[in-house]
């Protein structure tokens, strides 16, 4: 049972430390959460949406500017069609249910990934959410949908090669920022903290370029069980790390 007093104390502790400006989360373990309860996998995804709401509530008033959630990878199309269909309905459901709260909290929605590969109804829901929140200036909430880190880098390479072919760009003069300007995250700083739930210790093609210097935090907690307290613990751990960015 969540102890409100412990939560408030943990919140006080992290408030006095340096906040990660950008937190990215690999929300893993929905299927196992459901299996443990004898429920269909999609019940885990449904419960996973509640965990997203808890994170947003937990971040209220904290100086975290960006939250990027890995909701559907380019590899997730390999899942059974019924599960993919269910997942493709979640952005619409989430925006439908949460838009009032999102507006009240000044949250700006965004998406990274190949949106053109999503079903029309998913694209429409996302476009409406982005449009409705475009003037908001608070937390930027990005959903990574049909996202793959290698694909993102590959399309950046292609775009830069085209510019070179056109004589617009000299290959030997290509900079990090030229590459970054071709990524889905061109207007977002790199994550400071990446959290992965469910005990798996891997990155799974998430933000490969952007996490070069991110702090990585792995927890055994399954995503549907992830709470404000888990989030605060991850932030507290981040604050204890000594980030040197290759320096001393
Ligand atoms: C990984 O768990 C989870 C996903 C592939 C989907 C995550 C999606 C949500 C939490 C909801 C997204 C909501 C919106 C609003 C877009 P898994 O199914 O691979 O779990 P397992 O490893 O235990 O099988």
Nearest Cα to 24, choosing from 113, 141, 136? Answer: 141
Q: What is the pLDDT of residue 2?
A: 60
Q: Could you tell me the CA-to-CA distances from 128 to 49, 52, 95, 110, 147 in Å, in that order?
A: 19, 19, 9, 11, 20
Query: Does ligand 1 lie within 6 Å of residue 70's CB atom?
Result: no
**pLDDT tens digit string along 48-88?**
999 999 999 999 999 999 999 999 999 999 999 999 999 99
Domains delineated in the chain: 21-147+189-239 (3.40.1180.10)
Q: Which two tokens stand for residue 231?
A: 């989030």
**0.95 cut: is pTM over it?**
yes
Q: What is the pLDDT of residue 101?
A: 98
Active-site residues, by number, are 28, 76
For the CA of 51, the nearest atom of ligand 1:
10
Residues of the chain with confidence (pLDDT) below 50: none
**What is the C-alpha separation between 96 and 93, in angstroms, rounded?**
5
Residue to probe by mutation, ligand 1, list 24, 25, 26, 31, most atoms within 8 Å of CB: 31
Pocket test for ligand 1, best of 32, 71, 195 (most atoms within 8 A of CB): 71
């Amino acid at each position: 049972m969540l102890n409100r007093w412990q939560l408030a104390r943990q919140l006080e502790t992290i408030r006095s430390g340096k906040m990660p400006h950008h937190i990215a989360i690999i929300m893993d373990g929905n299927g196992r959460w459901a299996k443990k309860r004898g429920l269909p996998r999609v019940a885990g995804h449904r419960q996973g949406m509640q965990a997203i709401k808890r994170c947003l509530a937990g971040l209220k008033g904290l100086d975290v500017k960006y939250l990027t959630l890995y909701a559907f990878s380019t590899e997730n199309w390999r899942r059974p069609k019924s599960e993919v269909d269910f997942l493709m309905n979640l952005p619409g459901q989430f925006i439908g249910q949460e838009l009032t709260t999102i507006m009240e909290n000044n949250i700006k929605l965004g998406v990274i990934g190949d949106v053109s590969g999503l079903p029309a109804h998913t694209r429409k829901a996302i476009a409406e959410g982005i449009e409705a929140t475009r003037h908001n200036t608070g937390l930027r909430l990005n959903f990574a949908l049909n996202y793959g880190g290698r694909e993102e880098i590959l399309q950046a390479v292609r775009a830069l090669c085209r510019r070179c072919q056109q004589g617009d760009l000299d290959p030997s003069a290509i900079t990090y920022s030229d590459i970054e300007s071709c990524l889905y995250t061109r207007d977002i700083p790199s994550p400071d903290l990446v959290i992965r739930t469910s005990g798996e210790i891997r990155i799974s093609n998430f933000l490969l370029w952007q996490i070069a210097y991110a702090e990585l935090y792995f927890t055994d907690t399954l995503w549907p069980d992830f709470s404000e307290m888990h989030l605060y613990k991850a932030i507290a751990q981040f604050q204890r790390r000594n980030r040197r960015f290759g320096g001393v």
